[in-house]
Each structure stands twice: as C-alpha cells, then as structure tokens.
Chain A
Amino acid sequence: MNIFDPAIFPILTADGLTNGAVYALLSLALVLVFAVTRVIFVPQGEFVMFGTLTLASLQLGRVPGTLTLLLVLLAISTVLNVVEALRRGDGRSAGISGVSGVALGAGLWALTTTLAAAKAPLLVQVLLTLLLVVPLGPLLYRVVFQPLRNASVLVLLIASVALHLVLVGLGLVFFGPEGSRTPAFAEGNTVLGGVTLSNQSLLVIMVSALLMVGLYYFFDRTLTGKALRATAVNRMGARLVGIRPTAAGSLAFTVAALIGALSGLLIGPSIAVSYDTGFLIGLKGFVGAIIGGLVSYPVAALGALLVGLIESYASFSLSQWKEVIVFTLILPVLLWRSLSSKHHDEEDE
C-alpha cells in the first residue's frame, strides 16, 4: 500500500504533527537555554521523564522521588546562597535566604506527602507535578551552571552531559526500571475532515500551540521576556543596562523545566515513559533546534515538526531505518549552515 493512500496519509500526518508538536516545544526550550546561558542542555528530555513519572507515582499514591531531589537541591542552593551573602558581609540577606529555603522545603514536603497520601484529583496532581518538577530547572542552574557561568561552551557541555547521566540514574532509583503511563486527559475520538483523531493528540497539538503563543507573547510583550532576549543577543550589553545574567539564566531554566514537564504530561497517556525515555525525545527536539541553528525559535519549531513528520512517514515506509533517517537529517542541515552562514564564535567576544 502506498504512503500517499488517502486512507493512510492523513493519519500519518496527524500522528507526525502530534509528536512533532512535543519535539517543537523541546526544541524551543533548547534554543532558549543555549541563547541565554550557552549551555547545550542535554538533560532537557529528563524533565519530560520526571514530568510523566512524578504524576504516575502520585497516581499510585506514592511520594515521588522527585521530592527528595528537589529538597536536596534546595538545601545545596540555600547553603550556597547563605555562604555567598555572608562573604559579602550581608548578614540580613543570608538570614532571609536561609529561613526562606528551610520554609520552602518544609512547605513542599508537607504539601506533597499530604496530597500523595490523599490521592487528590487528577488536576491537583498535575499542578503538584509541575510544582515539583519546574523548580528543578532554576535549582539545577543555581547548583550546577551558575558557578560555571564564565566557563567555555565545551565545559558547559561536559557538565550538561554529566548532569544528564546523574538525572537518568536518579530516575532509575526513584521510579524503577519499568515505565509507567498516566491516565488520559481526554478520552475518545474526533472526526475531522474524514480523519479520525484521538482527542488526546488534539489536546497535545492545542496545548503545544497555546504554549508557543504564550512564549511569543512573553518574549515580545513583557519586560522580563525582553530582558531574556536582550541577554541572548548580547550578554555584556544586557549587563550594562542592568539585567543580571544569573537571573536571566535562572529564568531560562525555569521555562525549560516548565516546557519539559508539560511535554511529559502531554505524552504520558500515549506511551509508557521509563527512566531512560527522555534522552531520545530530547535528542529529536535537538535536531529541530539545530535546524534553527540554536538561535531561531520559529525555524527550530518548524524543524522539530519536520522531524515528527519524517519520523511518522519513515515508520510507515521503512520502519527499520526510521532512526537512521531522522538523525541523518541533521547532516545536510549542518553542511548547509556551515556553508551559508558566517562562522560566529561566542568565545571571541
């Protein structure tokens, strides 16, 4: 049967767009983090994994291991903040950091243990999942990347790979070797122009589109968003006009973690996510980000959609070569980019 058969082509396209939408979200996060902090953020996929599996453990009435990681990171970053403030001789802000860190940790612990035991409704569990996963972004930035903020891109990449391995290992310890699925947010099917689509995949496409519009609004209309863009364009210039690069970095990681966790919640009902699922999903977002040259948001998003579509068509025509086809896509793009654009090296600035 031909791939362009009218009974098959629309289904494959819809399927490709659904996966592509998730890849697109991840590619946006990768571009954002790289533009602002020069970190090629390999562990982006791990936020996806933590998103799904945290919700899955809450569903089982268990306290997710994510809480432990969050509290440990919170403790380390609080100590770092207090020590830094004391070095500056600023006893008052040291006190504030210490007390707020402890209060935040205690609050999160109490909230999670109560809600996990109570088997709260799905929506509450989703919000709690976001509350547990999203702070991992800024905390990881504070603990891992902020102390390295003046290091070269290579050192940052090495730290990023190391962090990826640590997070995958922790995923295995927290959630066990086998994967989990989360309940569907939307059951049933919708018929659109003769094609049957599951409501779940419509939801994925809609939420992704909304999130992208939201990001556009954030970067284009709000002061914080503009500050982030300014840092991405010129770090030194942004600093001169009073934007703190560490605050920008922290914010970029928060957005990345939010995008990752939401993607995890979106794909959780359709596939079984296990502790090592995140990497490949993140990698496909990365191919999109590379197509966008790690600078352009719209091109990255389109590139990621293209990855999703090609993956879907390839899985029909040549399933044993699917991964080869998807990742070979990166070669002509790199070739074209290196021939067409002037080489710009961040290190030379």
Chain B
Amino acid sequence: MKRSNHFRLTLTALLAVSSLALADVRVGVIVSSTGPAASLGIPERNTVALLPQTIGGQKVIYTILDDASDTTTAVTNARKLIQENKVDLIIGTTTTPASLAMIDVAAESKTPMISLAASEGIIKPVDARRSWVFKTPQTDALMAAAIVQHMQQNKVKTVGYIGFNDAYGEGWLAELQKNAAARGIRVVATERYARTDTSVTGQVLKVLAAKPDAVLIGASGVPAVLPQKTLNDRGYGGKIYQTHGVANADFLRVGGKDVEGAILPAGPVLVADQLPDSNPMKKVGLAYVNLYEGKYGKDSVSTFGAHMWDAGLLMQKAIPVALKKAKPGTAEFREALRDALQGTRNIIGAHGIFNLSATDHLGLDARSRVMVQVVGNTWKLIK
C-alpha cells in the first residue's frame, strides 16, 4: 500500500515536470460538424488540418470537438477543453447562439476565444466578459449594409423579405429593417419559413401581392433555393437578393438554373481569382483556396472554412508575441495572448484586413465584402 502510494507520488511529480518541460501551445477547437450547421462546420473542421503545427518555435496541439450545432453541447465542450485539455485558446463555435453561451465560460476561466459565428452581439460591446472574446466572420450588419447600398444604387424602393424562422432569419430581418429605413427603402412584406419546408408557395404569394421591387431571402445553404425557385415559378420579375449564408458550391449545384441572377454579398475569398491584382486579399485568398482544394478536391472550398483560416492567421501573429511574456499553460500566457490578439493590426486575411483594438474585437471594414451575382451557374464579382 505504502509502496503504491509512493509510486503514485513519483508518477504525479514526473507528469507535472514533463508537462512543464513540454509546454506546448494547446488550442481547443469547437465546430458544428454535425447538426443543422454542419455545412458550415465541416469546412471549418477541415481547415484546422491546414493550420501550422508549430508557431513561434512551439509545437501546437489542436483538439477538435463537435458540438452537433447544439448550445448545451458547445458549453460542455468548452468546459471540457479548459478543464481537461488545459487549452490556451478556444476557436469556435460555428453558430451564434452557442458562441453567445460560450462567452461566460471563456470569461470565467479567462481563456481567449475566437468565435466563427456571424452575429455582432458576440463581440459588442467589449465589456468585462467579452474582453476575452474575438471573432473573424463579417457581421450581418456589415453584409446587410452592402445589400441595401446595392439596392439603393439600383433604384429599389420597396423590398420583400422571406427568411428562416430562426435566429439567422430574425437577425437578417432586423438588419434589413434598420438599414432600409436609413436609406429610404420600405420593407413591404416579411415572411418566414422553416429550412425543412416542402413548399413556400403561400409565403411567396403574400410577398408578390405586395409588389416589391426586390426580394431578400434570409436563408443559408441549399434551403435558400426553394424561395427563389418558387418566386421564379410564379413569374417574379424583380431583383432577388440572397445572403452570404449561401456562398458554397452546393447552393449552385442544387439550385442550378433556379438561382441564376441572385445577388449576394460575400467575403472576397469567394471570388479570389476575379479580384484585381492590386487587392492584397487576392493572394491570401488564392493561397487558401489552393491549399484546401489540394487536400480535399476541386470545388470543395467554401467561404466558411476561410473564417477558420483567418482565425488561424490571427493566432499565428498573436502566439509568438505572447510566448515572449509567459509560458503556455499558464494564466499569464492566456492574458498575454488576449492582449496580443487585441493589438493585432493589418493582418491580411482571406475575408478582409483585420485591425483589432480594445474596443473592436473583429476589426473588419467595408473591404471585407464584395457584391457577387450568380451568372452561368458560377459566382461573378460585381464591379
């Protein structure tokens, strides 16, 4: 008995020493690789494999967990990563509700977190809790402003809205109403549908009855095809806008000729090859696309994975700075990492140019979006 206790003590001591000696940087990743957000989460997970294995001379250990697009699971996973894996940084998660819930976990344990979700509420305002939270995707506000600006330039006076009856659809509706009011455009119809609906004829008829100049479809992925198809079937002649949630190859594959002419805002990486050479994001975007497609096959890339890539770029800049101040695995290192992330300037990412500060934990501006149209079943940059 005594002997085994002794043995245990030695073992614990040994383990403690070895973990100190190694001091690898531990990064916990939470993405939604199953569940409704899987089409976003899978490319994000795939991108982790492309991130560097050593940063600033230190080995980086990635632990990837799936939250099944579920808020509770995301929070449990975040706690697990912090308590069991002793991570220095959390990247994730894919969805807005789950990211919002993870803020408390990050703040409690004082662990920096880079969310991959869209909503502005995750990083604004930067208060005591959110001082640990960053994100890389453009906010809906940024994207909605681009859409409404395009509407105004094309003399659209009235707009109809058909969107998901969930957080995504509601968020877009709120942004549309805010931006449209500011630019003197009237929202004349607002209709909802579920992503699994087999028909949206009722909603489309109601929108058509209001005779809008343009229709915005607030939906993501292939379920966004159905309203546009139904609008076409009913002979709608106005402009049809989609959100950046549809910017993947599956949308074009499933939509085919039914989504021809759709106008949407997107991160520049979607049309990286069409950007002018003077645009600094062209090189970064193309490099990511080639790297991703080299590993996962042609046309497999989507803009969602690029958010993870951008998070990786921020991390590559911040970790070497933090390493100078403290050892990985300590509270001091996590704080130094947070400060380093906050001080990141002029990082050219696939989606935009990041200039973070103590009051802006996203750091993207209008350069992080372009307007794109579906022409000939492919994305075409609108100049």
- Chain A residues in the interface with B (C-beta under 8 A): 1, 8, 11-12, 15, 18-19, 22, 169, 172, 176-181, 198, 267, 270-272, 274, 276-277, 279-281, 312-317, 319-320, 322-323
Are the CB atoms of A177 and B39 closer together than 8 Å? Answer: yes
Are the CB atoms of B205 and A316 closer together than 8 Å? Answer: yes
The A contact surface, by secondary structure, is: helix
List of A residues within 8 angstroms of B165 by Cβ: 319-320, 322-323
Contact of A12 among B34, B202, B248 (CB under 8 A): B202
The B contact surface, by secondary structure, is: helix
Are the CB atoms of B221 and A178 closer together than 8 Å? Answer: yes
List of B residues within 8 angstroms of A18 by Cβ: 199
List of A residues within 8 angstroms of B205 by Cβ: 8, 11-12, 316
Are the CB atoms of B209 and A312 closer together than 8 Å? Answer: no
Q: How near does chain A come to B266, taking the closest CB pair, in angstroms?
A: 17
Interface pairs A-B: 6 shortest CB-CB? A315-B202, A316-B202, A177-B38, A178-B250, A177-B39, A1-B209
B111 at the interface (CB under 8 A from A): no
List of B residues within 8 angstroms of A178 by Cβ: 39, 221-222, 248, 250-251, 254
Q: Which residue of A lies closest to B235 (CB)?
A: A196
| Given the contacts A178-B39, A323-B194, A316 and B203 also touching, CB distance less than 8 Å | yes
CA distance A73 to B85 in the complex (A): 38
Q: How near does chain A come to B247, taking the closest CB pair, in angstroms?
A: 12
B198 at the interface (CB under 8 A from A): yes
Contact of B199 among A274, A280, A312 (CB under 8 A): A312
Most B Cβ at <10 Å: residue of A177, A198, A271, A316: A177
Q: How near does chain A come to B189, taking the closest CB pair, in angstroms?
A: 10
CA distance A22 to B254 in the complex (A): 22
Q: Which residue of B lies closest to A56 (CB)?
A: B254
CA distance A141 to B222 in the complex (A): 33
CA distance A56 to B254 in the complex (A): 10
Are the CB atoms of B223 and A319 closer together than 8 Å? Answer: no
| Given the contacts A178-B250, A319-B192, A172 and B34 also touching, CB distance less than 8 Å | yes
| Given the contacts A15-B202, A315-B202, A280 and B196 also touching, CB distance less than 8 Å | yes
Contact of A22 among B34, B198, B221, B248 (CB under 8 A): B198
Are the CB atoms of A315 and B198 closer together than 8 Å? Answer: no
Most A Cβ at <10 Å: residue of B196, B222, B226: B196
List of B residues within 8 angstroms of A15 by Cβ: 199, 201-202
CA distance A22 to B194 in the complex (A): 18
Q: How near does chain A come to B204, taking the closest CB pair, in angstroms?
A: 9
- B187-234 contacts to A, CB under 8 A, are 191-194, 196-203, 205-206, 209, 221-223, 225-226, 233
Contact of A277 among B35, B196, B209 (CB under 8 A): B196
Q: How near does chain A come to B375, taking the closest CB pair, in angstroms?
A: 21
List of B residues within 8 angstroms of A180 by Cβ: 222, 253-254
B36 at the interface (CB under 8 A from A): yes
B51 at the interface (CB under 8 A from A): no
Q: Per-residue 0/1 for B68-93: is the Cβ within 8 Å of any A Cβ (1 yes, 0 no)?
A: 00000000000000000000000000
CA distance A314 to B194 in the complex (A): 13
Are the CB atoms of B248 and A315 closer together than 8 Å? Answer: no
List of B residues within 8 angstroms of A11 by Cβ: 201, 205
Q: Per-residue 0/1 for B309-340: is the Cβ within 8 Å of any A Cβ (1 yes, 0 no)?
A: 00000000000000000000000000000000
- B233-261 contacts to A, CB under 8 A, are 233, 248, 250-251, 253-254, 256
List of B residues within 8 angstroms of A312 by Cβ: 199, 201-202
Are the CB atoms of B196 and A319 closer together than 8 Å? Answer: no
CA distance A179 to B196 in the complex (A): 10
Q: How near does chain A come to B117, taking the closest CB pair, in angstroms?
A: 17
| Given the contacts A8-B205, A179-B223, A272-B223, A319 and B39 also touching, CB distance less than 8 Å | no
B42 at the interface (CB under 8 A from A): yes
Q: How near does chain B come to A55, taking the closest CB pair, in angstroms?
A: 14
Most A Cβ at <10 Å: residue of B192, B201, B226: B201
Q: Which residue of B lies closest to A284 (CB)?
A: B198
List of B residues within 8 angstroms of A270 by Cβ: 198-199
CA distance A260 to B27 in the complex (A): 44
Are the CB atoms of B223 and A322 closer together than 8 Å? Answer: no
| Given the contacts A15-B202, A281-B198, A172 and B226 also touching, CB distance less than 8 Å | no
Are the CB atoms of B201 and A280 closer together than 8 Å? Answer: no
Q: How near does chain B come to A319, taking the closest CB pair, in angstroms?
A: 5
Are the CB atoms of A319 and B201 closer together than 8 Å? Answer: no
CA distance A277 to B232 in the complex (A): 23
Q: Which residue of A lies closest to B201 (CB)?
A: A15
Q: How near does chain A come to B31, taking the closest CB pair, in angstroms?
A: 12
Are the CB atoms of A179 and B198 closer together than 8 Å? Answer: no
Are the CB atoms of B202 and A172 closer together than 8 Å? Answer: no
Known A18-B199, A22-B198, A271-B198; 16 more pairs at CB < 8 Å: A178-B250, A179-B223, A198-B233, A270-B199, A272-B223, A272-B225, A274-B223, A276-B35, A276-B36, A315-B193, A319-B165, A319-B191, A320-B191, A322-B165, A323-B165, A323-B194
